[in-house]
Structure 1
Amino acid sequence: MRYIVIGAGAVGGTIGARLYQGGHDVLLIARGAHHEALKRSGLRLITPDSAETLDIPAADGPVPTRDDDVLILATKSQDTIAALAPWPSDLPVVCAQNGVANERMVLRRFERVYGMCVWLPAQMPEPGVIAAHAYPYSGMLHVGRYPQGVDELAETIVSDLGKRGLVARTSPQVMRWKYAKLLSNLGNAVEALVGHVPGMSDVAQRARAEARTVLARAGIDYATPEEESEARGHKVDPRPIEGIDRSGGSSWQSLARASGSIEADYLNGEIVLLGREHGVPTPVNETLRREANRVARERQAPGSMPLEGLLALIDGRSAAGSR
């Protein structure tokens, strides 16, 4: 079986590297300078206790496929449709992405779709280099068939992932884990907008409290913090890597790259959508969604918005009773 990792950035690159180290056939799909570096020098994977250069095959677009190919999609949610458009729809797709909308989007075209809930703190400090900060394992991955269930392929994927540097588990209700991860990701926009300043976590908690009300009204279940803590244990603990400053999360990194887009529509925006469907106001998440998109569109640097300005917008929208 060959794993084709579409979007071999921080998360996809780490997953691809660990699969390759475990003896599996892997192809990384990347773009621009990252692809050029992979082709020229291989993938440099740096962890808290090791550094290794891996000669993993790489391409910058679709390649002739095989019957045993599995697509691992690790792009941002806003790029899902475009990233998969050139690939044959008879291949299985694993959505190794934040948010909960990707699996349903992919299922419109691909029959075999798998959700993957990813806890994997990593970054790409430069093209061709991935820094995976967790120790002793680089990440915790829950995998299941979408919309529910575990089949033979899910079992095989989990077995392959667990051979080197990753903790992987099957889950017949994988979306419970992805909704729990969604709650934690609601703070991504806050971090990206204002940076690590006093009061940042309070705004993130307001976004999560609002989201829990929405999920309760919608009747959507999610893994509890106790379940998450038990699953990770001390297996996936972020650690410093000498010589590499750990930057912010995925949304912070999108702004730092000045990519022009950000994932907020599929994180905070998911809560806004559910709130509108079920009649629950979501002023905190709607403000975060709008402002994150504005800052990304204007290519502003991460942490460039004053916390006081963000709070004023949230309070103004709350007072207006916005949904």
Structure 2
Amino acid sequence: MRFMIMGAGALGSYFGARLQAAGHDVAFIARGAHLEAMQRGGLRVRSPLGDLDLPQVRAFDRPEAAGDVDAVLFMVKTYDVETAGRSLLPCLTPETIVVTAQNGVTAHQRLAKILAPGQVAPGMVYMPADVVEPGVIRHSSDFNRLVTGPLMDGRRAPLEAMAAALESAGLEMPLVADAGPSLWEKFALLASVANVTCLTRLNLGPIRDTHETNVLLRAALDETMAVGRAVCPGLELAAGERAWDLIQSMRREVHASMLDDLRRGKRLELDDICGEIVRLGAAHGVPTPVHGFANAVLRPYLNGTPD
């Protein structure tokens, strides 16, 4: 298949590298030093599941330079969804599938206002990764999962070829019947880890080692689950326990990508993580003190490290 990785940061570069190594045609859309490094020297992946060294990759700064594609892994930051979505239009055929993979619960809905709903499917990535230096990706877990729901017009069959392609590359792509509960289960995990790792500036290991911060982590998860159950009645209570078990089993060095952005002085996805929970909690009468505190404390860093 012909793939485009729209937003080839840590996660996108990892998925794209695996797909290229398996023989698929992959175009990476990136920017800055990471783009320059890929254009100059290719892409390297360091992973418990096996390292990769790709001396050459097709890396561009604009989607139209890549030509038509069969499938897009849409992995831009939440605040870039609309701009990036419009830039995709010249590359899409009527059969092209676009799978979102943002740190929130609304990206697929926002993108479907720009593209045809029958082209967009919500996706949830389960794996931590970071760009340790331009052109070098570190994957720090024993799993690399992209859970995908049906296309927004209800069809599932067009996603099956894409799932087979990812699985041929050693990537998991389970298809679910209803994306709503899956989105919220992933969001509960992501939001709690993002908020507490950013508040403490620590990886999960020392957070779990300390009783008080581990309790805070659980409170953040429970708050998100409470909001999620108000918004999405199909979200099971057991989803919170699954998310908690996964958090407790993750490697000690794991942290949220928002902490990477915070450390590097970059813009934060605060409005679509803490802010989203606070807004939805207020709308549904669900208290959100932990996320409200995180939203307030991190707000000065919204657009990068303040002067």
TM-score by shorter chain over 0.5: yes
| Alignment partner, residue 4 of structure 2 | 4
| Alignment partner, residue 23 of structure 1 | 23
In the alignment, the residues of structure 1 paired with residue 32 and residue 182 of structure 2 have an alpha-carbon distance, to the nearest angstrom, of: 33
TM-superposed CA distance for 1:280, in Å, is 2.6
Equivalent position to 1:205, from 218, 226, 231: 218
| Alignment partner, residue 126 of structure 1 | 133
The secondary structure found in structure 2 opposite 1:170 is coil
Counterparts in 2 of 1:158-177, with a 5 A limit? 158-177=163-182
- Partner deviation per Cα, 1:17-57 (whole Å, 9 max, x = no partner): 11112211100011010000000000101112633211221
CA distance change for structure 1 residues 166 and 81 in 2, over 3 Å: closer, same or farther?
same
Alpha carbon RMSD of aligned pairs, Å?
Answer: 2.6
How many residue pairs were aligned?
Answer: 287
| Alignment partner, residue 58 of structure 1 | 59
Q: Which moved more, 1:217-226 or 1:43-52?
A: 217-226
| Alignment partner, residue 303 of structure 1 | none
- Partner deviation per Cα, 1:72-130 (whole Å, 9 max, x = no partner): 11122122112222221754321022211101100111111111111012111000001
In the alignment, the residues of structure 2 paired with residue 238 and residue 24 of structure 1 have an alpha-carbon distance, to the nearest angstrom, of: 30
Task: Indicate yes or no: 2:105 matched with 1:100.
Answer: yes
- TM-score normalized by structure 2? 0.84
| Alignment partner, residue 196 of structure 2 | 190
The secondary structure found in structure 1 opposite 2:276 is helix
Give ranges in structure 1 of 5+ residues lacking alignment. Answer: 241-245, 301-323
TM-superposed CA distance for 1:251, in Å, is 0.9
In the alignment, the residues of structure 2 paired with residue 31 and residue 294 of structure 1 have an alpha-carbon distance, to the nearest angstrom, of: 25
CA distance change for structure 1 residues 98 and 256 in 2, over 3 Å: closer, same or farther?
same
Counterparts in 2 of 1:224-303, with a 5 A limit? 224-225=238-239, 228=242, 246=253, 248-259=255-266, 261-297=267-303, 299=305
The secondary structure found in structure 2 opposite 1:63 is helix
The secondary structure found in structure 2 opposite 1:11 is helix
In the alignment, the residues of structure 2 paired with residue 219 and residue 117 of structure 1 have an alpha-carbon distance, to the nearest angstrom, of: 16
In the alignment, the residues of structure 2 paired with residue 265 and residue 283 of structure 1 have an alpha-carbon distance, to the nearest angstrom, of: 16
Q: Which moved more, 1:209-218 or 1:92-101?
A: 209-218
CA distance change for structure 1 residues 248 and 130 in 2, over 3 Å: closer, same or farther?
same
The secondary structure found in structure 1 opposite 2:149 is strand
| Alignment partner, residue 117 of structure 1 | 124
Q: Which amino acid aligns with 1:222?
A: L
Contact 1:4 1:29 in 2 (8 A): yes
The secondary structure found in structure 2 opposite 1:172 is coil
Contact 1:149 1:171 in 2 (8 A): no
Give ranges in structure 2 of 5+ residues lacking alignment. Answer: none
The secondary structure found in structure 1 opposite 2:195 is helix
Contact 2:6 2:73 in 1 (8 A): yes
CA distance change for structure 1 residues 30 and 65 in 2, over 3 Å: closer, same or farther?
closer
The secondary structure found in structure 1 opposite 2:105 is coil
In the alignment, the residues of structure 1 paired with residue 152 and residue 49 of structure 2 have an alpha-carbon distance, to the nearest angstrom, of: 37
CA distance change for structure 1 residues 149 and 210 in 2, over 3 Å: closer, same or farther?
same
- TM-score normalized by structure 1? 0.80
CA distance change for structure 1 residues 52 and 210 in 2, over 3 Å: closer, same or farther?
closer
In the alignment, the residues of structure 2 paired with residue 214 and residue 238 of structure 1 have an alpha-carbon distance, to the nearest angstrom, of: 24
CA distance change for structure 1 residues 125 and 18 in 2, over 3 Å: closer, same or farther?
same
Task: Indicate yes or no: 2:226 matched with 1:220.
Answer: no
Work out the percentage of aligned pairs sharing the same amino acid: 30
| Alignment partner, residue 86 of structure 1 | 87
Contact 2:60 2:66 in 1 (8 A): no
Contact 2:140 2:254 in 1 (8 A): no
Contact 1:19 1:164 in 2 (8 A): yes
